[in-house]
Amino acid sequence: MAPAAVTGFLASPTVHTALIVGGFVAVITGIVGVFTVVRGQSFAGHALADLGAVGGSGAFLIGLSQVWGFVGAGIIAALLMESIGVRRLQGRDVATGVVFAFGMGVTALFLYWGTTVGGSSNAAVSVLFGSLFVIDPAVIPVVVGLSVLALVVVVVCYRWLLVESVDRDLAAARGVPVRLTGVLFLVALALAVELSSLTIGAILSTGLLIGPAATALLVTRRFGRAVLLSAGLALAITWAGCLVSYESYYWTGRQGNWPVSFCIVALIFLVYLGVRLGAALGRRHAAAHAGARPAAPRPLKAGV
Amino acid sequence: MKARRAMVMPGGAGTAEAREPAAGAVLVARDIHVALAGRSILDGVDLTVGAGEFVGLIGANGAGKTTLLRVLLGVLSPGSGEVMRPDGAGLLTDARHGRGVGYLPQKVALDPEAPLRARDVVALGLDGGRPGLRLRGRAAMRERVDETLRAVGAAEFGDRRVGELSGGQQQRVLLAHALISDPALLLLDEPLANLDPASAHDIVALLDRLRHTRPVAIVMTAHDMNLLLPVMDRVVYLAGGRAATGAPAEVVRGDVLTRLYGRPISVIHAKGRVLVIAGDDAAPADEVHHDTAFGSTGGQGRP
């Protein structure tokens, strides 16, 4: 079954578009993800996904391409967050929770209007859970251009982001333009998150942002290697997810495919879990062989 | 041009700084005023640091030590007053453009999981301000990083994740980060906070050794001056937004601090340490020596 099916997979134009768009998005999201995790801005990534969904759903209503809806809303949200001060936002869970819930509420309203007025019942699934297999090939140049733009921003800011991850004043003392770096990174983050929203949906996009990065950080203590590994993992998982989704048509007795977003997010989860377990077992193994430290939990200190 | 004029001009009249020559100075701060959120933090502070000097900024929490250090660093603009710092070429220039300074911030919270080795942090001290990737000069960089790690006694943990090092080891790594650019001046914010007494003592000894082996002046903040007494050339004692400046024996005295605080203060010397307390007569006279000559007792302050 497999060879013939794989031939079909590789011959499908829909799959071609999915592999190209998904591939570019995966690489840039994997790269930006490592910086996001190290800077502790996963929260900002999630916020940008929620607020970008307003644009993604709004685009349906006014007949604009979804990608511009996501990216436009994401960039505006990023600049607003910067002007308010991301660092201040992070401490205020309640207020920000209300703002983001409002964002999702507006998304729900737009999607409802889209369904009743435009008659497009796919909009909700597409905005919230992605549309990798129904993407118009015409958006390929847009996706490639925006991915390259985000990559250029990250490369220019590479060392600035590293010093700033140690300490903000330290970075300022080294001559890093800290304010500019913060703005540029948020824009790169918005681009990565919104492009992922386009492929695997606004709700799941944080998974692609954080999952491969967190997995890579389990494996290596070198920043540069973590970035390359995360990008490679995100790419491999996205492509494997496309294949699994395509093949699942045959496994389910031709009842329909498993959604590609599900396949990608499930693979991200399984790979993370596997690497985490492998790392734990490796440490146990090393400890047992070294003989210096028993694998059993350390005894409590006397008097505790 | 501006730098040269500022160096020969005398500072504000009536301060200890005004009497000192500014020639050979690596830092000149004049009449610094800072107000944050409407509250006056610094209210006319002067400071001149000579080449190779060790200066302690001493004061209680909230006395404005960190604020003053941030002004000296150039990341905080004072409401009024001016700060001249060395640039890369060894000339004094406006603090906002000066680069010949190494800085160690207070309470750096390093994530134990962060994928940065100690040597990565040190390397960023040299080129962290440049855009783009580090593509060339990796071998030379590695050599320079190794040399700097050795200078601060951190060679053996250069390849470990910086977040998993102990507090004292992290301070050494951050010190190497500050030192690698060969600065004329180090600004250190509470480098002894959160260290156990032995590590704190080791760091002070290291700092003293560094300024004798390379041409670097050190300005550091501390809330407890006792560890610094044996090595400090000068103390800047901050209280109520003003500063008393001079050799420790001139400043850490009951009469000077009483004037600074505007209320009675006693300085108690015991076992080579000093204790600054409120009140005129805090302990029986036969157990304390008010305002004794400082040099004789200060030198024995090391544990």
- Structure confidence by residue, pLDDT tens digits, A183-196: 999 999 999 999 99
At residue B59, φ and ψ (nearest 5 deg) are: 170, 165
| Distance from C-alpha of A16 to C-alpha of A10, rounded to nearest angstrom | 7
Of residues A21, A211, A244, the one with CA closest to residue A131: A21
- Say if strands B92-94 and B265-270 run parallel, antiparallel, or are unpaired: unpaired
At residue A244, φ and ψ (nearest 5 deg) are: -60, -45
Taking CA–CA distances from A172, the nearest residue in chain B reads B75
Taking CA–CA distances from B186, the nearest residue in chain A reads A173
Mean pLDDT of A121-137: 81
**DSSP letter (8 states) at residue A1:** -
**DSSP letter (8 states) at residue B15:** S
Query: Residue A21 above 80 pLDDT?
Result: yes
Q: What is the pLDDT of residue A233?
A: 97
**Which residue of A155, A174, A225 is in closest CB contact with B133?**
A155
Q: What is the pLDDT of residue B92?
A: 64
Per DSSP, the three-state class of A57 is helix
Mean pLDDT of B167-187: 90
How many CA atoms within 13 Å lie on the side-chain side of B71? 28
pLDDT level of residue A175 (50, 70, 90 thresholds):
confident
Chain A: closest CA distance from residue B292 (Å) = 40
CB contact under 8 A, B115 and A162: no
Q: What is the pLDDT of residue A144?
A: 96
**With pLDDT > 90 as the criterion, what percentage of chain B qualifies?**
24
A114 CB-contact burial (10 Å; exposed 0-12 / middle 13-18 / buried 19+): buried
Query: Residue A215 above 50 pLDDT?
Result: yes
Cβ atoms of A267 and A241 within 8 Å: the answer is yes
Cβ burial A254-281 (10 Å sphere, 16+ → b, else e): eeebbbbbbbbbebbeebbeebeeeeee
Of residues B183, B107, B30, the one with CA closest to residue A175: B183
Q: Tokens 């490592």 sit at which residue?
A: A34
Q: What is the pLDDT of residue A62?
A: 86
Own/partner long-range contacts of B194-199 (Cβ < 8 Å, ≥24 apart): B194/B107, B194/B167, B195/B167, B195/B168, B195/B171, B196/B167, B196/B168, B197/B303, B199/B166, B199/B167, B199/B168, B199/B171
Q: What is the DSSP string of B200-244?
A: HHHHHHHHHHHHHHSS-EEEEEES--TTTTTT-SEEEEEETTEEE
Comparing A90 with A116, the larger pLDDT belongs to A116
Chain B: closest CA distance from residue A248 (Å) = 37
Query: Which residues lie below 8 Å from residue B227, measured CB to CB, with a gap of 6+?
Result: B192, B200, B201, B204, B301
Q: Read off the amino acid at residue B51.
A: A
What is the H or E stretch that residue B275 is in? strand B273-278
Q: What is the pLDDT of residue A294?
A: 46
Report CA Rg, chain B.
20
Of residues A48, A69, A68, the one with CA closest to residue A58: A69
| Residue A151 tokens, joined | 């990559």
Cβ atoms of A185 and A161 within 8 Å: the answer is yes
Per DSSP, the three-state class of B186 is strand
- Say if strands B80-86 and B54-58 run parallel, antiparallel, or are unpaired: unpaired
Of residues A206, A192, A205, A185, the one with CA closest to residue A71: A192
Q: What is the pLDDT of residue A129?
A: 84
**DSSP letter (8 states) at residue A301:** P
Mutate to test the interface with A, among B71, B73, B99, B116 (most CBs of A within 10 A): B116
- Say if strands B185-188 and B101-104 run parallel, antiparallel, or are unpaired: parallel
Q: What is the pLDDT of residue B88?
A: 55
Mean pLDDT of B34-51: 89
CB contact under 8 A, A174 and B70: no
Q: In terms of residues, how long is chain B?
A: 303
The interaxial angle of helices B167-179 and B197-213, nearest 10 deg, is 20
At residue B42, φ and ψ (nearest 5 deg) are: -120, 135
The winner for highest mean pLDDT among A22-31, A112-121, B21-30 is: A22-31
Cβ atoms of A191 and A49 within 8 Å: the answer is no
| Residue B302 tokens, joined | 């090391």
The rounded mean pLDDT for chain B is 80
Mutate to test the interface with B, among A155, A221, A222, A283 (most CBs of B within 10 A): A221
Q: What is the pLDDT of residue B83?
A: 85
Q: What is the pLDDT of residue A262?
A: 92
Q: Tokens 């962290």 sit at which residue?
A: B128
Q: Which residues of chain B make contact with A217, given a CB cutoff of 8 A? A: 113, 115
pLDDT in tens, B181-233: 888 889 999 998 878 888 899 999 999 999 998 889 999 999 888 889 989 99
Q: What is the pLDDT of residue B234?
A: 92
Chain A: closest CA distance from residue B213 (Å) = 24
Mutate to test the interface with A, among B75, B126, B171, B188 (most CBs of A within 10 A): B75
Q: What is the pLDDT of residue B62?
A: 83
Per DSSP, the three-state class of B96 is coil
The rounded mean pLDDT for chain A is 85
pTM, rounded to two decimals? 0.82
Is the Cβ of A161 closer than 8 Å to some Cβ of chain B? Answer: no
| Distance from C-alpha of B200 to C-alpha of B192, rounded to nearest angstrom | 5
| Distance from C-alpha of B134 to C-alpha of A95, rounded to nearest angstrom | 41
Report CA Rg, chain A.
21
**Among the ranges given (A13-27, B193-207, B210-224, B281-295), the one the predictor scored with the smallest mean pLDDT:** B281-295
How many CA atoms within 13 Å lie on the side-chain side of B145? 24
Q: What is the pLDDT of residue A88?
A: 58
Per DSSP, the three-state class of B21 is coil
Q: What is the pLDDT of residue A132?
A: 87
Query: Residue A75 above 50 pLDDT?
Result: yes
Comparing A289 with B116, the larger pLDDT belongs to B116
**DSSP letter (8 states) at residue B90:** S
Q: Which residues of chain B make contact with A220, given a CB cutoff of 8 A? A: 115
| Distance from C-alpha of B40 to C-alpha of A213, rounded to nearest angstrom | 45
